[in-house]
A and B are shown apart, each in its own frame.
Chain A
Amino acid sequence: MDKKNQDIWVGMAHKNNDPALVEAAGKEFVELPIIEALSDDKIAEVPANRRDFLKYLGFGLGAATIAAGCDVPVKRAIPYVTKPDEIVPGVATYYASSFVKGGDYCAVLVKTREGRPIKIEGNVLSPLTKGGTSARAQASVLELYDVNRVKNPGAVGENGVVTKMSWADLDKTIGGKLNASSNIRIVTNTVLSPTAKKAFAEFIVKYPNAKVVTYDPISASGMLEANERSFGDRVIPDYHFDKASTIVSFGADFLGTWISPIEYASAYAKGRKINPKRPKMSRHIQVESGMSLTGSNADNRVLIRPSEMGAAIATLYSALGGSVSAPKLNNKATAAISKVAEQLRGSRGNSLVVSASNNVMEQIMVNKINEMLGNLGSTITFTHASLQRQGIDSEIQGLISEMQGGGVDAVMVLDANPAFDLYNSDKFITAFAKVPLKVSLSYDLNETMALCDYTAPNHHFLESWGDAEPKRGHLSIIQPTISPLFPTRQAEASLLVWSGSANYKASAEQPYYEYLKTSWNGFFGQQSNYASFRSFWDEALHDGVAKLGISEREYGTVAATVNIGQITSPSNAEVEIAFLESINIGAGQYANNPWLMEMPDPVTRTSWGNYLGVPVSFDGAHSFVGYKGIGQSMVKGYADVVNLTRAGAEEGDRITAFPQFGQPEGSVATNLGYGRKICGGAGRNVGTNMFPYLSADANGNTQYFATNVAVSDIVDINYDFPCVQYHHTLGVTAKNEAGETINADEAALVDFTYGVVDQGYQGSLTNRSVIYHTNINELSEFTKELGHKREEAQALNAQSLYPGHEYLYENGHHWGMYVDLNACTGCSACTVACMAENNVPVVGAKEVSRHHEMTWLRIDRYFYGDVESPNTVYQPMMCQHCDNAPCENVCPVAATNHSSEGLNQMAYNRCVGTRYCANNCPYKVRRFNWLDYTTADIFPANQIDLNEEEIPYGADNLTRMVLNPDVTVRSRGVIEKCSFCVQRIQEGKLTAKREARKLRDQDVKTACQTACPTGAIVFGDLNNKEGELHKSLDHNPLVYIALEEINVLSSVNYTAVVNNRDEALDA
């Protein structure tokens, strides 16, 4: 066994040829350990045993018989009294708005049905996000219908319980406690809204001693300060990833979480999509210590321990000619970085170096590096600088000491949660308690809100008016899409009311709307496209975005000087830990969103918690071992639990650990944001809170790693590990007892002792075409080889089991899809979009650990290449809509069958749940409803499994408002799967028919396609020769079909992955 190989693998058990994996992969449905379930102490609480079941059954039969003799219940049809002009029941209305949460921003279109927002789409008119979305933006609509929202203004009791008050009473109470000289602090995360800032300013006019304290839980404070010192401008520059041919990122997860990931991913993908005729792609080198989404997309990763980040930057700086003596870095990284420096020099002016470091001096060095490389003004500009991070760590730290000293009279907390997401939250909490008046303006239940005296709950953004300026000169509108569900009030409005602003006319029908409009009157003068304010405003409201003419700002030189003494010095600790912002739930702000909780982390493939990624090492002879032997039983759905301790803590945290390829030796990594204590039901006590592990550097900026930790040996086993890595595996090869390569997912078909054939079982291939990958330098050879392989596969397919069945589809439509794996970054926006569009249920951690996740679209993650620092492929895998579908042939009731448009149809009301189809699906994309996940009529016996919620997620009436009325809500006992968004196909066709014209590409777009920030998914009619799909596939030598050799004639095409890895960096 070699450390380096060209195989693809999904995890350590696969690499190690674990017999348990071979056995498990052969089964579509995992065999759940029944004995364990019975020994589960919860079983005693189950109110229904077998006898009860029989009673229910008997009663059910009886009831059904009686019901059969009765009339159908009366249903009511309730029309409007006065129908709003813009609503036609049954037809969706879209509103342009903006998703904003702290510094996270996405221009969106909100789809509403009968006045209910049900789906978020990207807004293509936005010059930033260009129609792309993120998983967080997609999931934000569910937050609107969160049952745990703060629903009333009032006084806050223990654990955030609110004693109701009227708004008038609350305003009176708070107004009575404030006076002109009060030292008031407004604590917020980054505020993008210029109008909100005007409201703050008015508040400060009334209370001159008031101050706004801005911080970000995942801070860019060091960078902002560095830029202020370098350029005199405290902003995040405008990065142009599309213009860079060499991208070096020091720990910046710009595709997943850093600053503006949607914008960056879209630009980045432009440099990564391959035109085989003129092969050219950017080279991306990631220097990091925990495998981030961005790192997994990189061509080369330079592995460092977290404390070596400063040293790594300094090494590059000095290699490029900076006059510093860099601290010692590990040898391999030192060598690699000197080669990186060479490459950067070679692409002067079109390279880009970014860093997520929160150390001022390290960021100044990064600025110096970009200056030396001539990137300032080319790949880094400042005119449209980003305002998406504005928080300064020292401000909130200053507030803590101020509060501790008793100098603060009142604190208003606006959508921030410092009692959870600061490294010294404990200090904040004690200091906060000394403030006489504490008011929360958040709409969600959180740790800080629970410590406040009063709550003045904010609207959700889908209920609000507002604006955002994510980048200088780029404005964006937030408009309400539904009347407030609860008696909440916009936070800005609350501040304006308390400040008694004359500009805020509380008696108006929509006072904050008037205020916003007045505020925008000021922007009208800054643009020249519209002659009247009315047209400017109307157009902005329609488009959702507006652009202002602003003066150019460019900085060519870096004013600051480098003082190497101020960077982090590498530690000698045995093990260090790196903390990453979770793609799913950020720093905890999104923790109460079941869609995001259930979405597997793209890199680790885990859901419902944060887990400790430990390095994998090769023993030199046989196998790969997780640090301290961790990860041996993962394939069975178990995982090892270790004790993680930090110096100074009384006791450690028990945390589930798993082996993570690409994790540097001597380091471990995990996600931040989990372990919320006061939160809605979905996020409460899920995972471990890592914020107490953080510390600050000499400048008071939070550092996202820790050196003072110890990882124990395995102390326990987690039997409910919700990791989907080994669920629904396909094309997994393994070695049988005789040492022959076999298809693990066919192993169950044949007796081991019988395995004498050398290629898989029953003469099948082991060389399965699941993923193809190559290096850009070998592209021409590779395309030839791929051509041969496809020819071979097609030759194998010449013999059909169904002679005479030809799939011509020359008449009408033939739906197909193209997924560009070079553009796919694995960000998972599509998986959440699919859940939202298709009413896919959330099943909870326990059910996920039992392989019961219901996602129609999953993103398979494969590694290949160097085991210590592998390359990664993300493969969105959905129903492939095979023309020769193996699922169809085995259905005894023809519940799944083929349409004349090439769709593999699923009729739920016909399905009897034999699951033969899922067993026969080579792509493992069919899902079975083991429980009635979305409706409330389930047996109480099943409910204990659903994360101890009394009713399962999504079964209450408020949450059910998010359901798409055009898609059936499936019940227990039926199979479901991707339908290519057939409801959208039908809708698009109907639009074309009604307008009596041909169907156009833009009429039908699937939910995953519209969600994708990089345009990796193209859906369309294969019969439309002018369509985008046809153009993408036509004569593209990189296109392949997954498992083409098994003759299922799938309708989804993938591109082979091309990397631009430089082997020299590995040496």
Chain B
Amino acid sequence: MNITTIPKMKHFLPLVLLFFCGSLLAQAPNLAEGKALFRNNCASCHNKSMKDDMTGPALGGVEERWEGKEALLYDWIRNSTAVIESGDEYAVSLFNTWNKSKMTAFPNLTDEQIASVLGYIDDVYVNGPAVVNGGGDPIPGEKGDEAGLSTSFFVVLFLILAILAVALARIISNLNRMAEMKEGGKPGQVATLKDILTSRGVIGFLVFALVIIGGFTTVNNAINLGRQQGYAPDQPIKFSHALHAGQQQIDCQYCHDGARRSKHSVIPATNTCMNCHKAIKKGSLDGTAEISKIYASIGYDPNTDTYMENYEEMTNEEIKPIFIKYATETFKKDNATVAKYADSESKLTRDADEEAEKQWKGIVASLTNPSKEKVSGAIEWERIHNLPDHVYFNHAQHVSVGKLQCQTCHGPVEKMEVVQQYAPLSMGWCINCHRQTEVQFASNEYYEQYETYHKELKSGKRETVTVEDIGGLECQKCHY
């Protein structure tokens, strides 16, 4: 209400930008809307290039593929299950091609909105990503649309001006020489390259450029300090989200059960892993090596399928034989019929021992550190998403109330072998999303409090209520 100092600038700023950006900004308005919708709803599964597959198929040319059945396409977007059930041939084949995974339903999208998304898809497919809004970077706030635009714009401008400057300098020096010759004097000596490079003008310019570039780099790096987009450290256990969430289709919130009710999404406790891994004792990728780490953490004896008594009191030396035994026996059992061991029992034993020792070393390396000597106890994962202490973020607000998909912020985790930080987690990124995201206004009685907005929506004066409209950009929504 009272962020007083800048209201006038607000009106002025777009004008300034418009002046600088000129014709580059000119575009059909529905593309911008389409882009926003695509980002919020589609980008978590469909590739932004429109040309490559991701969790879902590449969307380029989608309208051609559904040629003649536009209404069905719109239905598909709103609720694909219904279309599949209706028995449409293409729909069913699409469903089967994509491992029978269902597309998220978007029942709230209007025809206009779908049209603009399709328009945007087509535009990107045909013209490439650069055209819409200049930058075309799908991650909000990553670089800022205007920044992306102006960088290329300024490079061009800089080059033109530089050429102009060189040309003018030449003209001036030529004119000077001509003038001197005209006056009858001896023609001035042609400046050598050294003279030019050591002239006051050039040095002055270089210093100026250095200050500007240095300042720009410093500020940019300073802003990025502590941000770690793309951070993908090795974890103590080679847990594959691609396997669990992608292939096995385990719901994110089965393990991260805090997301719907707490500020923390919660790294699952070891006993959550045990719900499945009591039965699944061998992994498809690493055999027993990684799953044994879970057992070593919680104190589960895979030889006897029982939890060990007083496990916390046991030393590493006492624990070791259990896992050595398990690894040896498993190796022997798995390799008993392998040809190379067919006639050599001792070789099998030797390799089994070697493998077991290797696995135990892995367990110790993963589950201990200088401040934790025992393998028993919690698995210390490396934290990937780190918000500063002065930021309050609540998963339940976004997942339960805002009904956001996990992928909106965390990216296609179901495709990641090693999880990485997908979003920049910068304030600009948060803010942009709050500007664009609509509040789940209709379905939640809480929002009846906002009577004015309801009236405006009804009268058509207002089309959407974004998070910004209900105060989502205010400082104390996240900082207190």
Identify the A interface with B (CB < 8 A). 68, 72, 74-83, 88-91, 802, 805, 807, 810-813, 885, 888-889, 894-895, 897-901, 903, 905-910, 966-969, 979, 982-983, 986, 989-990, 992-994, 996-999, 1023
Does the CB pair A811–B453 fall under 8 Å? yes
Q: How far is the CA of A982 from the CA of B397 in the complex (A)?
A: 15
Contacts of B451 in A (CB 8 A): 810-811
B444 interface residue, CB < 8 Å from A?
yes
B124 interface residue, CB < 8 Å from A?
no
Mark the stretch among B11-19, B268-276, B321-329, B354-362 that contacts chain A: B268-276
Given contacts A72-B226, A72-B228, 11 further A-B contacts (CB under 8 A): A72-B231, A76-B383, A77-B380, A81-B298, A91-B258, A885-B2, A898-B3, A899-B471, A899-B474, A900-B471, A909-B388
Q: Would A900 and B480 be within 8 Å (CB), given that A76-B380, A77-B382 are in contact?
A: no
Pick from A89, A906, A993: contact of B262, CB under 8 Å: A89
Contacts of A810 in B (CB 8 A): 451-452
Contacts of B392 in A (CB 8 A): 966, 983, 986
Does the CB pair A83–B272 fall under 8 Å? yes
Contacts of A907 in B (CB 8 A): 475-476, 479
Contacts of B222 in A (CB 8 A): 68
Pick from B225, B444, B475: contact of A68, CB under 8 Å: B225
CB-defined interface of B363-389 with A at 8 Å, one 1/0 digit per residue?
000000000000001111111001011
Q: Would A897 and B475 be within 8 Å (CB), given that A79-B378, A979-B480, A983-B480 are in contact?
A: yes
Contacts of A968 in B (CB 8 A): 389-390, 479-480
B400 interface residue, CB < 8 Å from A?
yes
Does the CB pair B386–A82 fall under 8 Å? no
Q: List 17 A-B contacts (CB under 8 A).
A: A72-B228, A78-B381, A82-B271, A88-B261, A88-B262, A811-B453, A812-B449, A812-B470, A897-B475, A909-B388, A966-B263, A979-B480, A986-B394, A986-B480, A998-B446, A999-B446, A1023-B449
Does the CB pair A999–B449 fall under 8 Å? yes
Does the CB pair B397–A80 fall under 8 Å? no
Pick from A83, A910, A997: contact of B269, CB under 8 Å: A83
Pick from A68, A88, A910, A982: contact of B480, CB under 8 Å: A982
Pick from B233, B258, B449: contact of A813, CB under 8 Å: B449
Name the CB-closest residue of B to A806.
B1
Q: How far is the CA of A997 from the CA of B444 in the complex (A)?
A: 7
Does the CB pair A894–B3 fall under 8 Å? yes
Q: How far is the CA of A992 from the CA of B446 in the complex (A)?
A: 6
Does the CB pair A897–B3 fall under 8 Å? yes
B401 interface residue, CB < 8 Å from A?
yes
B314 interface residue, CB < 8 Å from A?
no
Q: How far is the CA of A894 from the CA of B263 in the complex (A)?
A: 27
Name the CB-closest residue of B to A903.
B476
Q: How far is the CA of A910 from the CA of B3 in the complex (A)?
A: 14
B477 interface residue, CB < 8 Å from A?
yes
Name the CB-closest residue of A to B271.
A82
Q: How far is the CA of A89 from the CA of B452 in the complex (A)?
A: 37
Nearest Cβ in chain B — how far from A998, in angstroms? Answer: 6
Does the CB pair B378–A81 fall under 8 Å? yes
Nearest Cβ in chain B — how far from A566, in angstroms? Answer: 61
CB-defined interface of B294-323 with A at 8 Å, one 1/0 digit per residue?
000110000000000000000000000000
B343 interface residue, CB < 8 Å from A?
no
Q: How far is the CA of A969 from the CA of B392 in the complex (A)?
A: 12
B448 interface residue, CB < 8 Å from A?
yes
Q: Would A75 and B382 be within 8 Å (CB), given that A812-B470, A905-B474, A982-B476 are in contact?
A: yes
Does the CB pair A994–B480 fall under 8 Å? no
CB-defined interface of B1-32 with A at 8 Å, one 1/0 digit per residue?
11111000000000000000000000000000
B183 interface residue, CB < 8 Å from A?
no
**From B2, B222, B449, residue with most partner A Cβ within 10 Å:** B2
Nearest Cβ in chain A — how far from B375, in angstroms? Answer: 12
Contacts of A997 in B (CB 8 A): 445-446
CB-defined interface of B224-263 with A at 8 Å, one 1/0 digit per residue?
0110100101000000000000000000000001100111
Contacts of B257 in A (CB 8 A): 88
Pick from B2, B263, B389, B448: contact of A898, CB under 8 Å: B2
Does the CB pair B271–A81 fall under 8 Å? yes
Q: How far is the CA of A72 from the CA of B383 in the complex (A)?
A: 11
Nearest Cβ in chain B — how far from A169, in angstroms? Answer: 21
Does the CB pair B2–A897 fall under 8 Å? yes
Name the CB-closest residue of A to B379.
A79
Contacts of A903 in B (CB 8 A): 476
Nearest 8 pairs between A and B by C-beta?
Answer: A90-B262, A83-B269, A898-B2, A80-B269, A907-B475, A90-B264, A905-B476, A77-B383
Contacts of B470 in A (CB 8 A): 812, 900
Q: Would A89 and B264 be within 8 Å (CB), given that A83-B271, A909-B390, A997-B445 are in contact?
A: yes
Does the CB pair B4–A990 fall under 8 Å? no
Does the CB pair B381–A89 fall under 8 Å? no
Name the CB-closest residue of B to A990.
B397
Does the CB pair A81–B297 fall under 8 Å? yes
Name the CB-closest residue of A to B236.
A76
Does the CB pair B1–A807 fall under 8 Å? yes
B267 interface residue, CB < 8 Å from A?
yes
Q: How far is the CA of A888 from the CA of B221 in the complex (A)?
A: 31
Nearest Cβ in chain B — how far from A837, in angstroms? Answer: 12
Does the CB pair A89–B378 fall under 8 Å? no
B203 interface residue, CB < 8 Å from A?
no
Contacts of A72 in B (CB 8 A): 226, 228, 231, 386
Q: How far is the CA of A969 from the CA of B480 in the complex (A)?
A: 9
Name the CB-closest residue of B to A995.
B446
Does the CB pair A812–B445 fall under 8 Å? no
Q: How far is the CA of A589 from the CA of B446 in the complex (A)?
A: 47
Does the CB pair A811–B452 fall under 8 Å? yes
Does the CB pair A77–B475 fall under 8 Å? no
B62 interface residue, CB < 8 Å from A?
no
Name the CB-closest residue of A to B228.
A72
Nearest Cβ in chain B — how far from A547, in angstroms? Answer: 34
Q: How far is the CA of A340 from the CA of B272 in the complex (A)?
A: 72
Q: How far is the CA of A885 from the CA of B443 in the complex (A)?
A: 36
Nearest Cβ in chain B — how far from A961, in angstroms? Answer: 16
B206 interface residue, CB < 8 Å from A?
no
Q: Would A79 and B396 be within 8 Å (CB), given that A968-B390, A997-B445 are in contact?
A: no
Name the CB-closest residue of B to A79.
B267
Pick from B5, B261, B474: contact of A900, CB under 8 Å: B474
Q: How far is the CA of A616 from the CA of B11 in the complex (A)?
A: 63
Q: How far is the CA of A192 from the CA of B367 in the complex (A)?
A: 48
Pick from B1, B221, B268, B389: contact of A79, CB under 8 Å: B268
Q: How far is the CA of A812 from the CA of B452 in the complex (A)?
A: 9
Q: How far is the CA of A269 from the CA of B378 in the complex (A)?
A: 52
Does the CB pair B383–A81 fall under 8 Å? no
Pick from B231, B386, B446, B479: contact of A909, CB under 8 Å: B479
Q: How far is the CA of A494 from the CA of B225 in the complex (A)?
A: 55
Contacts of A996 in B (CB 8 A): 443-446
Nearest Cβ in chain A — how far from B436, in angstroms? Answer: 18
Nearest Cβ in chain B — how far from A723, in angstroms? Answer: 31
**From B394, B448, B480, residue with most partner A Cβ within 10 Å:** B480
Does the CB pair B267–A90 fall under 8 Å? no
Nearest Cβ in chain B — how far from A879, in angstroms? Answer: 12
**From A72, A88, A992, A993, residue with most partner B Cβ within 10 Å:** A993
B82 interface residue, CB < 8 Å from A?
no
Q: Would A78 and B226 be within 8 Å (CB), given that A894-B5, A905-B474, A999-B446 are in contact?
A: no
Contacts of A78 in B (CB 8 A): 267, 378-381
Does the CB pair B4–A889 fall under 8 Å? yes
Pick from A89, A992, A994: contact of B266, CB under 8 Å: A89
Name the CB-closest residue of B to A83.
B269
Name the CB-closest residue of B to A983.
B480
Contacts of B389 in A (CB 8 A): 968-969
Contacts of A77 in B (CB 8 A): 267, 380-383
Q: How far is the CA of A989 from the CA of B479 in the complex (A)?
A: 16
Nearest Cβ in chain A — how far from B242, in angstroms? Answer: 20
Does the CB pair B446–A76 fall under 8 Å? no
Contacts of A812 in B (CB 8 A): 449-450, 470-471
